[in-house]
Amino acid sequence: MIPGGEFFQQIVNGLTVGAVYALIALGYTMVYGIIELINFAHGEIYMIGAYIGTIAAALLLGAGVPAAAAIPLAIVAAAALTGFYGLSAERIAYRPLRKAGRLAPLISALGLSIFLQQYVLLAQGARDKVFPEEITSAGFTLGPVRVAFVQVLILGVAALLMVALQGFVRRTRMGRAMRCAAQDPVMASLVGVPVDRVIALTFIIGSALAAVAGVLVVMYYGKVNYLAGYTAGLKAFTAAVLGGIGNIPGAMVGGLFLGVVESLAAGYIGGEYKDVVAFVMLVVVLIVRPQGLLGVRVPDKI
């Protein structure tokens, strides 16, 4: 047994990682909700966001901008540009295949994921990209638990974005169009919902959220490399399935849950098996409760 303080420490660390999974999972879940496609390239989009944020932060800090302004600016820049990556991905790899059955878009997504990964490898090299500012160490202690400021930042930003997204989907006209398209794309287009534009917007929002998650992770771990998207994407997908795919609050819950379980597993079983725990959980959830923690069982359409 590890002592109680260690337990709470793992919970805090798990929530931090979980918030990041949740942000990435939102992109999977929103896209799946509308076009029923597992966007394999989403992990790569997250990785690209992390790179862009790191490079932007380095440029801004190099130009003498104070960190308090440079980091938010870098996050915004990463979100904006990565949103465009998502938009382009949809236009180039997915939209032409919208009516092409199930297998073709999946393979296209897989191809796009390899393409983006290799693109970053060729453009930036195989070495780790290091975040310019050393901010991982600063923090405070809360009883036996050490909390880094970055962790507070991650949890805060993630919470803010999730509330904002929920507000957007629930309260705005475009959000209503989104829910409408998720329910029935054909019917939605018949009543005048611009489904193509809704799907494009979904990709932009999902990618921007993933980019923010990416920048936050680089600040937390201090570095990123071109392979980072693969595992993170798988984990986030697990989180989305865990919460019930297509379900936005589900993705948040699933992300936090996965983060905590994984962190505890790393503490109790050993760090090398924490990925195994995540995948085993995915398999078990799919078998026992395929609709996820918050999902509703939907009969297969005939």
Partner 1 sequence: MTQTGDVSHVLRAPLARAAGWTAAFYLMVLPLMGPRRGLWVALAVLVVQALALAADRVSPASRERLAAALRGSGRFSAWMELRPAWVRTVAPPALLLALAAAGLGMSPYTLDVATNAGIYVLLALGLNIVVGMAGLLVLGYIAFSAVGAYTYAILNTQFHLSFWLALPLGGALAACFGLLLGLPTLRLRGDYLAIVTLGFGEITRITLNNWNSLTNGPNGILGIQPPSLFGFTFSQPKHYFYLLLAMVALAAFFSRRLERSRLGRAWVAMREDETAAESMGVPTLRLKLLAFTLAAFWGGVAGVLFASKQLFVSPESFNFLESVMVLCMVVLGGMGSVPGVILGAVLLAFLPEVLRGVAEYRLIVFGAAMVLLMQYRPQGIWPSSRRYEEFRQEA
The helix/strand/coil state of 277 is helix
* Residue 269 touches partner 1, criterion: CB under 8 A: no
For 154, the token pair is: 């991650």
Whether the CB-CB separation of 278 and 238 falls below 8 Å is answered with yes
Contact letters for partner 1, residues 220-239 (x by CB under 8 A):
----------x---x--xx-
Site for partner 1 in 131-160 (CB under 8 A): none
Instruction: Decide if residue 268 touches partner 1 (CB under 8 A).
Output: no
CA 262, 268, 274: angle at the middle one, nearest 5?
35
Binding residue (CB under 8 A) for partner 1 from 124, 136, 166, 225: 124
Considering only residues 61, 116, 199, 219, which one is a binding residue for partner 1 as defined by CB under 8 A?
116
Bridge-based pairing of strands 223-224 and 129-130 is antiparallel
Q: How far is the CB of 5 from partner 1 (least distance, A)?
A: 28
Shortest distance, CB of residue 190 to partner 1, whole angstroms?
22
Residue among 175, 230, 284, 235 nearest 20 (CA): 235
> Strands 223-224 and 145-148: what pairing?
unpaired
State CA 1 to chain mean position distance: 32
Cβ contact 144:236 at 8 Å: no
Q: Which is nearer to partner 1, 7 or 230 (CB)?
A: 230
Site map 29..48 versus partner 1, x via CB under 8 A: -------xxx---------x
State both tokens at 300: 């297969």
Task: With CB under 8 A as the rule, give the number of residues binding partner 1.
Answer: 60
Q: Does 102 bind partner 1 (CB under 8 A)?
A: yes
Contact 204, 86 (CB under 8 A): yes
Contact of 277 with 269, CB cutoff 8 Å: yes
Q: Which is nearer to partner 1, 120 or 148 (CB)?
A: 120
To the nearest 10°, the Cα dihedral for 41, 43, 49, 55?
-110
Query: Token digits for 202?
Result: 């979904």
The one among 2, 5, 69, 122 contacting partner 1 by CB under 8 A: 122
Q: Which of 13, 16, 113, 202 touches partner 1 (CB under 8 A)?
A: 113
* Minimum gap (Å) between residue 203 Cβ and partner 1: 14
Does residue number 161 form part of the binding site for partner 1 (CB under 8 A)?
no
Told to check if 84 binds partner 1 by CB under 8 A, we report yes
Cβ-based neighbours of 146, under 8 Å, separated by 6 or more = 9, 139, 140
Residue 163 or 284 with smaller CB distance to partner 1: 284
* Position 61 contacts partner 1 (CB under 8 A): no
Q: For partner 1, which stretch binds (CB under 8 A), given 8-16, 145-153, 190-198, 276-284?
A: 276-284
| Under rule CB under 8 A, residue 100 binds partner 1 | yes
Question: 189-223 b/e with 16+ CB inside 10 Å = b?
Answer: eeeebebeebbbbbbbbbbbbbbbbbbbbbbbebe
Q: Binding residues for partner 1, per CB under 8 A?
A: 36-38, 48, 51-52, 55-56, 77, 81, 84-85, 88, 92-93, 96-97, 99-108, 110-124, 230, 234, 237-238, 241, 272-273, 275-276, 279-280, 282-283, 286-287, 290, 300, 302
